[in-house]
Amino acid sequence: MNAPSDHTPDRRAEPADAAPTGSPGPEFEHSEHHSEPRSGPNSGHESGTLYAERWWVPVSWWAFAAVMVASLWFAAEHAMGGPGHVIGALAAALCGAGLGYLGSTRVLVDGAGLSVGKARAPQQTIGSVLALTTGQARALRGPAADATARMFLRPYISRGVRVEITDPTDPTPYWYVASRHPEQLAAAMERARGSRSLTD
């Protein structure tokens, strides 16, 4: 009988870097990091941020502003020559700064409370939280608005949440906070309330 060849392939061998059966590939492993807004315990922050949203200015606003600035720049240059460049550059700088400011505000929720830009509502002063529909938000910004409420608005964000303020020393009855994801914002605030009640 002929001896078996030393080069017979071992069918049991598998590549060392083969992924285990059922494990997700790289395209699934990193997909969760691209969701916006960040929502969930300790999402992206060591300090325990439960929700983070930035009020980005929509692209359409930037495009409209660019067209208007370009038109002004062209008209000023045509009418005044060299000084028109200065006017156009100044208009571009002011427009960019204004839109940048509008989009710089962040809404943050953590275990200590709610922050909108530099404004802060401690968790112990927050009462009920309501995610508003488009119609409810429109009414609360208009005929149903309370003159003593604190309004955090952006004209390009049509929805928001109503946050009751229960601090007896603060005459503010509620905050209106604009949000593109009001349900997620309200849910994060409820989680923050629950985590605080467990630690008290």
Residues 6+ apart with CB under 8 A from 157: 55, 178, 179, 180
In angstroms, the CA 53 to CA 108 distance is 7
* The predicted structure's pLDDT at residue 14: 43
Residues ≥6 apart with Cβ < 8 Å to 148: 171, 172, 173
Sequence-ordered list of residues with C-beta below 8 angstroms from that of 27, at least 6 positions apart, any chain: none
Per-residue pLDDT of the chain (200 residues; tens, 9 = 90+): 444 444 444 444 444 444 444 444 433 233 333 334 444 333 444 458 999 999 999 898 889 888 988 888 888 888 887 788 888 888 889 988 988 888 889 999 999 999 999 999 999 999 999 999 999 999 999 999 999 999 999 999 999 999 999 999 999 999 999 999 999 999 999 999 877 655 55
pLDDT of residue 163: 98
**What pLDDT was estimated at residue 199?**
58
What three-state secondary structure class fits 71?
helix
First to last CA, the chain: 82
* pLDDT confidence of residue 197: 56
- Residue 84: predicted pLDDT: 81
pLDDT over 70 percentage in the chain: 74
Dihedral, CA of residue 41, residue 129, residue 102 and residue 117, to nearest 10: -60
Task: State the pLDDT at residue 164.
Answer: 97
169 SS3 class: coil
3-state secondary structure 117-148: CCEEEEHHHEEEEEEECHHHHHHHHCCCCCCC
Q: Both tokens of residue 195?
A: 């985590």
Q: In this predicted structure, what is the pLDDT of residue 62?
A: 87
Instruction: Give tens-digit pLDDT for 77-117.
Output: 888 877 888 888 888 899 889 888 888 899 999 999 999 99
Coarse DSSP helix, strand, coil percentages of the chain, rounded to the nearest 5 percent: 40, 20, 40
